[in-house]
A and B are shown apart, each in its own frame.
Chain A
């Protein structure tokens, strides 16, 4: 392999790794990013004049590792898509991405998880009661409360048929509420980067 070819291979390997790490972004955005980063490398290389392998390694090192660079794009992109979405999975993925970057994000992710968990539990209880009225209930026994089925002989069903409207209403409210809380808090995600003197 000749000298320029070896350098080209190195650049390609860097961009390939970046492409792999950028996986979940739309393809046209990935192409745009790679084009810009390739331009950066080539232009730095041109400016260096006589190109050596060490010089190229230094350029790539200054740029940062592809694995470190890619999440910066993705966190921004995913959070941006999530904050205008109504999809619980996209919202939770956005919050999870944010959770990896900050404590605030982690708190929001947990809130989302708990909120959707409650929604799922109550909705399942409401629908379950319609399907299997004798097995499904809102069971209360000393020291515990659960919605669903039970094999605890001391538990008694506190809601009876009321579980249907209550389950559906509470479940739907938790679903809508959690979605709005996530959308609202993800809206602040990009404003809350560390800026001396607080957010602007």
Chain B
């Protein structure tokens, strides 16, 4: 039961960070869905079900934070590439600042507790 609650909490936290992680992954280059996933798998621990990034990208596009284009690939099937719009860059920066500040405060809050644990 406690294990379930832990899992659920962890899932919620991941879900919350996922949108920022996706935006950050296309900060400096155009990537297609699976590329974004690979980037997130390599650099973070955020993915729960792989499919969840696609509806998020879909919404980011509807909100005009990202733009996308189908590009033919040598793999034999086209890939949908995503990149940030000007509004997307502004939002990503705002989210990143917010997240960094938040992390600092949480770390300060947790430091004494973690020190005691050691």
Please list the residues of chain A having a beta carbon within 8 angstroms of any beta carbon in chain B.
32-33, 35-40, 42-44, 46, 62-64, 68-69, 72-73, 76-77, 80, 190, 193-197, 200
User: Is B77 a contact partner of A64 (Cβ separation < 8 A)?
Assistant: no
User: Is A39 a contact partner of B77 (Cβ separation < 8 A)?
Assistant: yes
Please, how many angstroms separate the alpha-carbon atoms of A195 and B19 in the complex? 9
Please list the residues of chain B having a beta carbon within 8 angstroms of any beta carbon in chain A.
12-13, 15-17, 19-20, 32-34, 49-52, 54-56, 58-59, 62-63, 70, 75-80, 91, 94-95, 98-99, 101-102, 106
Which of B12, B51, B79, B80 contacts A69, CB < 8 Å?
B51
User: Is B58 a contact partner of A193 (Cβ separation < 8 A)?
Assistant: no
Q: List 17 A-B contacts (CB under 8 A).
A: A36-B33, A36-B80, A38-B77, A39-B77, A39-B79, A42-B76, A42-B77, A43-B34, A63-B49, A63-B50, A64-B51, A69-B51, A72-B56, A194-B15, A194-B16, A195-B20, A197-B102
User: Is B80 a contact partner of A196 (Cβ separation < 8 A)?
Assistant: no
User: Is A33 a contact partner of B78 (Cβ separation < 8 A)?
Assistant: no
Please, how many angstroms separate the alpha-carbon atoms of A39 and B50 in the complex? 13
A36-B33, A64-B50 in contact; A197/B58 too (CB < 8 A)?
A: no
User: Is B63 a contact partner of A190 (Cβ separation < 8 A)?
Assistant: yes
User: Is A196 a contact partner of B94 (Cβ separation < 8 A)?
Assistant: no
User: Is A190 a contact partner of B51 (Cβ separation < 8 A)?
Assistant: no
Please, how many angstroms separate the alpha-carbon atoms of A37 and B51 in the complex? 8
Chain B residues whose CB sits within 8 angstroms of the CB of A39 once the complex forms: 32-34, 77-80
Please, how many angstroms separate the alpha-carbon atoms of A77 and B56 in the complex? 11
User: Is A196 a contact partner of B99 (Cβ separation < 8 A)?
Assistant: yes
Please, how many angstroms separate the alpha-carbon atoms of A60 and B98 in the complex? 35
Chain B residues whose CB sits within 8 angstroms of the CB of A62 once the complex forms: 49-50
A73-B58, A80-B62, A193-B19 in contact; A46/B49 too (CB < 8 A)?
A: no
Which of A37, A68, A72, A197 contacts B99, CB < 8 Å?
A197
Chain A residues whose CB sits within 8 angstroms of the CB of B49 once the complex forms: 62-64, 68-69
Chain A residues whose CB sits within 8 angstroms of the CB of B79 once the complex forms: 39, 43
Chain A residues whose CB sits within 8 angstroms of the CB of B76 once the complex forms: 42
User: Is B77 a contact partner of A76 (Cβ separation < 8 A)?
Assistant: no
- Distance (Å) between the CB of A188 and the closest chain B CB? 13
A195-B19, A196-B17, A197-B98 in contact; A35/B55 too (CB < 8 A)?
A: no
Chain A residues whose CB sits within 8 angstroms of the CB of B91 once the complex forms: 200
Chain B residues whose CB sits within 8 angstroms of the CB of A37 once the complex forms: 51, 54
Chain B residues whose CB sits within 8 angstroms of the CB of A44 once the complex forms: 34
Please, how many angstroms separate the alpha-carbon atoms of A33 and B56 in the complex? 12
- Distance (Å) between the CB of B93 and the closest chain A CB? 10
User: Is B62 a contact partner of A46 (Cβ separation < 8 A)?
Assistant: no
Please, how many angstroms separate the alpha-carbon atoms of A125 and B49 in the complex? 52
Please, how many angstroms separate the alpha-carbon atoms of A36 and B98 in the complex? 32
User: Is A193 a contact partner of B63 (Cβ separation < 8 A)?
Assistant: no
